[in-house]
């Protein structure tokens, strides 16, 4: 996995001048007792640390943003979906697609979050 991470981070840093990632807290993820989440988080930490030093090597920019609400805000209309507040953590984690109650956009959870993360990062440059 380490070799795959190296290939991935080298490709990302070579292909993009600016990379935006979420500052995911190890502590919060460890409170969650799902083993897969802990493993995924360990890989995430390694990925971010590789991005940090490789961006420095290649003169690229890494922006690390606060993950607050990046999954819950609709990237189309920028409204937060408050319907998620009533879900349990496992219900929330298993929600892969959703419809925005405000603008009715049909959203893929990961794609929507990625667009919010990029927008949030680019705001810091303005
Ligand atoms: Zn919307």
CA distance linking residue 78 with residue 14, whole number of Å: 31
| 95, 85 Cβ separation under 8 angstroms | no
pLDDT in tens, 35-54: 566 666 678 888 999 999 99
CA distance linking residue 20 with residue 114, whole number of Å: 9
* Ligand 1 center–CA 91 separation, angstroms: 21
CA distance linking residue 54 with residue 60, whole number of Å: 8
pLDDT in tens, 81-113: 999 999 988 898 889 999 999 999 999 999 999
Q: Which residues surround ligand 1, an ion (CB under 5 A)?
A: 74, 76-77, 100, 102-103, 105
Q: Where are the domains of the chain?
A: 1-66, 68-126
């Amino acid at each position: 996995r380490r070799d795959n991470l190296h290939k991935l981070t080298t490709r990302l840093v070579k292909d993009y001048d600016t990379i935006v990632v979420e500052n995911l807290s190890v502590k919060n993820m460890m409170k969650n007792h799902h083993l897969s989440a802990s493993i995924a988080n360990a890989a995430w930490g390694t990925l971010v640390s590789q991005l940090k030093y490789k961006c420095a090597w290649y003169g690229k920019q890494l922006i690390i943003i606060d993950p607050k609400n990046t999954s819950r805000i609709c990237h189309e209309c920028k409204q937060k979906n408050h319907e998620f507040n009533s879900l349990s953590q496992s219900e929330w984690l298993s929600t892969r697609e959703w419809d925005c109650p405000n603008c009715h956009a049909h959203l893929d959870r990961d794609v929507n979050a990625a667009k919010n993360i990029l927008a949030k990062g680019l705001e810091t440059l303005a």
